């Protein structure tokens, strides 16, 4: 992919990458997560090391966990094998998420020659989740799904349906291209997950929650059974520039909680708040941790949690 002047400008603002071992995953996490049917099941997430995503989204901070060049052949199976040695035999009915901070169906990120070895390693899992830009969703998804014993799910970044913000995120994504990818996956029986941003740049802070809920609704209408709400992170490169310009405000814990509550009320699928690095969320010192803990309970149970009350926030509202 030829980099545009905008891509180059954004990349020039980034600090240096950290050094990574192409033969070891960045992280391994075993937890319980609700699946597309709303059942709480064991979920193993592997944060794989691989080639950087060729797209240059303004909000992305995952590039720092990637390699400058293509992923070496054999590296992804080696990383998966190493992770299994660390966590042991997966429980029956477990889900595995292979997140590589890029696109699984980019052959330079996950060499197609490694697919059979990867699929064999994934035999114990009932569900396999990979991530991809909607533009790279095509026949290769069907080919990989056929190699798996478990069901494939593809997680795609919808980000937002805000008509001004979406084209300015530099994701090279339109709603029609998301719709095309979702329709293709649905037609061949591959599950759909979606990522939705809370606090996307170019959306006024007062409207951030509403647009996140609208975006979750849009994803669910296109067949997404699991929607993850991602709070946009700040403090680096392009996002700091946008904050300085006044077109981005880091979302608070309360905003993420309100978006989760609103999206859950849609009653159209599983909605989860991404709480990775949640301690960095902005917000009221009196209630921030209580809201994060409540969101964790909502992630696990899907509802029925009493609201957090805070005298400080109530006075501000």
Is the model's pLDDT at 252 over the cut of 80?
yes
Question: Per the structure, how many domains does the chain have?
Answer: 1
Helix (H, G, I), strand (E, B) or coil at 5: helix
- Per residue in 208-246, pLDDT (tens digit) is 999 999 999 999 999 999 999 999 988 778 999 999 999
Q: What per-residue confidence (pLDDT) applies to 241?
A: 93
Instruction: Work out the burial of residue 142: count CB atoms within 10 Å of its CB; fewer than 13 is exposed, 13-18 middle, 19 or more buried.
Output: middle
Q: What per-residue confidence (pLDDT) applies to 45?
A: 96
196 contacts 159 by C-beta, under 8 angstroms: yes
Give the whole-angstrom CA distance, residue 138 versus residue 188: 11
Of the pLDDT bands very low, low, confident and very high (cuts 50, 70, 90), residue 1 is low
Stretch 262-282: mean pLDDT, rounded?
A: 92
- Per residue in 119-142, pLDDT (tens digit) is 999 999 999 999 999 999 999 999
Mean pLDDT for the chain overall: 94
Strands in the chain per DSSP E? 27-34, 40-47, 95-99, 127-131, 151-159, 191-198, 226-231, 270-273
With respect to residue 315, please indicate whether it lies within any of the assigned structural domains.
no
With respect to residue 152, please indicate whether it lies within any of the assigned structural domains.
yes
With respect to residue 301, please indicate whether it lies within any of the assigned structural domains.
no
Q: Helix and strand tally (H, E) in the chain? A: 11, 8
With respect to residue 289, please indicate whether it lies within any of the assigned structural domains.
no
Q: What per-residue confidence (pLDDT) applies to 313?
A: 80
Q: What per-residue confidence (pLDDT) applies to 311?
A: 84
Q: What per-residue confidence (pLDDT) applies to 137?
A: 97
Helix (H, G, I), strand (E, B) or coil at 197: strand
Give the whole-angstrom CA distance, residue 96 versus residue 207: 34
Give the whole-angstrom CA distance, residue 217 versus residue 223: 10
pTM: 0.95
Stretch 111-121: mean pLDDT, rounded?
A: 97
Is the model's pLDDT at 200 over the cut of 80?
yes
Q: What per-residue confidence (pLDDT) applies to 268?
A: 85
What CATH number has the domain bearing residue 180? 3.20.20.70
Is the model's pLDDT at 176 over the cut of 70?
yes
Q: What per-residue confidence (pLDDT) applies to 315?
A: 54
Phi-psi region of 253 (alpha: psi -120 to 50; beta: other; left: phi over 0): alpha
Percent of the chain's residues with pLDDT above 70: 98
Q: What per-residue confidence (pLDDT) applies to 43?
A: 96
With respect to residue 190, please indicate whether it lies within any of the assigned structural domains.
yes
Q: What per-residue confidence (pLDDT) applies to 246?
A: 94
Which helix (H) or strand (E) segment is 292 a member of?
helix 288-301
With respect to residue 230, please indicate whether it lies within any of the assigned structural domains.
yes
With respect to residue 304, please indicate whether it lies within any of the assigned structural domains.
no
With respect to residue 311, please indicate whether it lies within any of the assigned structural domains.
no
Helix (H, G, I), strand (E, B) or coil at 176: helix
Q: Give the structural domain span for 118.
A: 5-282
Q: What per-residue confidence (pLDDT) applies to 88?
A: 87
CB-CB neighbours of 143 under 10 Å:
12
Percent of the chain's residues with pLDDT above 90: 84
Q: What per-residue confidence (pLDDT) applies to 40?
A: 93
Q: List b or e across 45-68, with b for residues whose CB sees 16 or more CB atoms inside 10 angstroms.
A: bbbbbbbbbbbbbbbbbbbebbbe
């Amino acid at each position: 992919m030829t980099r545009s002047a905008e891509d180059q400008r954004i990349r020039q603002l980034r600090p240096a990458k950290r050094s990574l071992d192409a033969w070891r995953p960045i992280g391994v996490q075993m937890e319980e997560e609700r699946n597309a049917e709303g059942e709480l099941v064991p979920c193993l997430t592997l944060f794989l090391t691989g080639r950087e995503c060729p797209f240059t989204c303004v909000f992305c901070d995952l590039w720092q966990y990637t390699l400058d060049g293509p992923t070496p052949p054999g590296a992804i199976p080696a990383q998966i094998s190493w992770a299994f040695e660390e966590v042991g035999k997966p429980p029956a009915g477990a889900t595995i998420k292979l997140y590589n901070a890029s696109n699984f169906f980019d052959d330079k990120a996950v060499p197609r020659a490694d697919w059979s070895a990867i699929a064999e390693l994934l035999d114990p899992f009932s569900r396999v989740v990979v991530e991809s830009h909607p533009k790279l969703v095509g026949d290769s998804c069907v080919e990989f799904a056929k190699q798996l014993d478990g069901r494939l799910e593809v997680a795609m970044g919808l980000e937002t349906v805000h008509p001004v913000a979406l084209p300015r995120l530099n994701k090279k994504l339109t709603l029609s291209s998301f719709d095309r990818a979702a329709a293709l996956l649905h037609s061949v029986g591959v599950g759909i997950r979606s990522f939705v941003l809370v606090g996307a740049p170019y959306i006024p802070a007062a409207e951030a929650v509403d647009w996140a809920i609208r975006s979750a609704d849009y994803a669910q209408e296109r067949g997404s059974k699991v929607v993850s709400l991602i709070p946009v992170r700040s403090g680096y490169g392009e996002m700091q520039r946008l904050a300085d310009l006044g077109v981005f405000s880091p979302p608070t814990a309360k905003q993420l909680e309100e978006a989760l509550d609103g999206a859950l009320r849609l009653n159209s699928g599983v909605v989860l708040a991404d709480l990775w690095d949640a301690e960095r969320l902005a917000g009221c010192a009196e209630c921030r941790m209580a809201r994060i803990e409540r969101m964790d309970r909502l992630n696990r149970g899907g509802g029925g949690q009493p609201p957090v009350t805070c005298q400080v926030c109530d006075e501000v509202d």
